Structure 1
Amino acid sequence: MTRDSNFKRRTSQETREAVLEAARRLFFTKGFDQTTLMDLGGETGLSARGVILHFETKADIIATLLIRDYSARRAPIVERPQGSTHAQRILDFYFWMAREDAATFIAFPALWSVSARWSIGVEAEMNAVLRRMREPVRQELTRGIAAGEFRGVDIQHADELIWQSYQHALRAVAVNGGMPALAVPQVFKTLEALSV
């Protein structure tokens, strides 16, 4: 009897869940690059080929974990005092993001090296999740433009510009050391560039 045949009773979904749990554990203990498909198989009772039958690539596994993390996040409603700016509310959102990101930050360096290898389906799902998660930022941009706080710019473009400034700063923090909150000043600089 092969290793895979010992686990035939699991459904495909149960097997995917087992791989994801093993991956989360191994990526955080061994690191993404050092974790092999054989390691994942050893944790789940599958062969390396068995793992690939459930995920196209190792990059898709880490992307799926990140999609789940982003999907589970619910931005808090921050009640700011009267007179606060829309830029302050956007900064509040990114400070919240940084706190949430701190829990998964150890995997971030790997994400940038593998994101180009995500499958097309995973990439589309990631983009949809990110759009939903950043909806409060687009709302504040819309209100800020109407109030004359921001220049009249394309909301989608401005949202993407702010997001990319945060991601770029996170890469630098990942390389140089530090916590995700250190990426938020770059968001502030981007908001200053968008201000009237």
Structure 2
Amino acid sequence: MSTEPGLRERKKERTRAALIEAAADLFGRKGYDETTVAEIAAAADVSTRTFFSYFRTKEEVLFVDNAERLRIAQAAVRQRLPGERPVDVLTRTAQQVLTTDTFASELFVRLAPLRVRLILGNPALQGYALRLLLSGQTELARGLHETFADELDEVIAAAMVGAFIGAMVAVVMQLFAEVPDPEQAILVDQDHLVAELRRGMAVAVAGLAAVGDQPAPR
């Protein structure tokens, strides 16, 4: 009896993974708008009703790994180790995201270039991605401000998070925009991606070094 919940959870995870794989394959071959929920469900050998028990929309499937990375970042940015400055916390937060299993997974390598290609060609997805980005930035900026309430006001915290995330998003967009076929994503291997993201982080850190010289207006 004690093994039943574990078996049930594993089955649910397999179904979820099958839906994600089916969606990625159909989005890549047919396009985002041309793919229906019914087709994704059929390709995963489940009912449409089952699809909606895992995902509310097609967008959620395409951005399925976003929530976990945001959860990790939110937890990290609310920690303050001895001697850390705000830029140190952001750097550590980014490094934790880069080394998480979610970021390093085959799923991310498969979905990241597909997302970039679909976003660049679909205004509706651009809007969805922007809403996710702004929501995530707002949460992280709030966390950074609360962590350094004695040093940062809300405006500077928001500017710092925006600069940091903006640099990393720009690197990902640039790298994967150069990969027209998602199946060629392997050309952007994980080590290269992480190295380039660290370069982007270095640029952001250099720019944020002047934050201490920006007092709040009176």
Q: Please classify the TM superposition score into its range, dividing by the shorter chain length.
A: 0.5 to 0.7
Separation of aligned partners in 1, 2:29 and 2:23? 8
SS at match of 1:75: helix
Larger RCO (alpha carbons 8 Å, 6+ apart): 1
Deviation at 1:96, TM superposition (A): 1.0
Give TM-score scaled by structure 2 length.
0.55
Deviation at 1:67, TM superposition (A): 3.9
The Cα RMSD (Å) is 4.3
Letter in 2 for 1:94: A
What are the ranges of 5 or more consecutive residues in structure 1 without an aligned counterpart? 1-15, 147-151
| 1:147-178 CA-partner distances (Å, limit 9, x unpaired) | xxxxx963213311210111111233444622
CA contact (8 A) 2:168 2:201 kept: yes
Give TM-score scaled by structure 1 length.
0.59
Report the structure, 1 or 2, having the larger helix content: 2
C-alpha spacing 1:184/1:140, structure 2 compared with 1 (3 Å): farther
Separation of aligned partners in 2, 1:124 and 1:173? 22
SS at match of 2:89: helix
What are the ranges of 5 or more consecutive residues in structure 2 without an aligned counterpart? 1-11, 179-186, 211-218
Deviation at 1:55, TM superposition (A): 4.7
Tell me which residue corresponds to 2:115: 111
Matches within 5 A, 1:80-159: 82=83, 84-100=84-100, 101-103=103-105, 104-106=107-109, 107-115=111-119, 116-118=123-125, 124=131, 127-129=134-136, 131-133=138-140, 135-138=142-145, 154-159=156-161
Does the alignment pair 1:191 with 2:205?
yes
Deviation at 1:144, TM superposition (A): 6.1
CA contact (8 A) 1:166 1:183 kept: yes
Separation of aligned partners in 2, 1:119 and 1:171? 12
Deviation at 1:124, TM superposition (A): 4.7
Separation of aligned partners in 2, 1:164 and 1:186? 9
Tell me which residue corresponds to 2:17: 21
CA contact (8 A) 1:75 1:93 kept: yes
Separation of aligned partners in 1, 2:87 and 2:160? 12
Tell me which residue corresponds to 2:68: 69
CA contact (8 A) 1:87 1:191 kept: yes
Deviation at 1:66, TM superposition (A): 2.6
| 1:60-118 CA-partner distances (Å, limit 9, x unpaired) | 4212x1344235434384745x4x54323321111111112222431111222334434
Letter in 1 for 2:69: Y
CA contact (8 A) 1:89 1:140 kept: no
Aligned residues: 170
| 1:36-81 CA-partner distances (Å, limit 9, x unpaired) | 553542313336x9969x754x334212x1344235434384745x
CA contact (8 A) 1:91 1:187 kept: yes
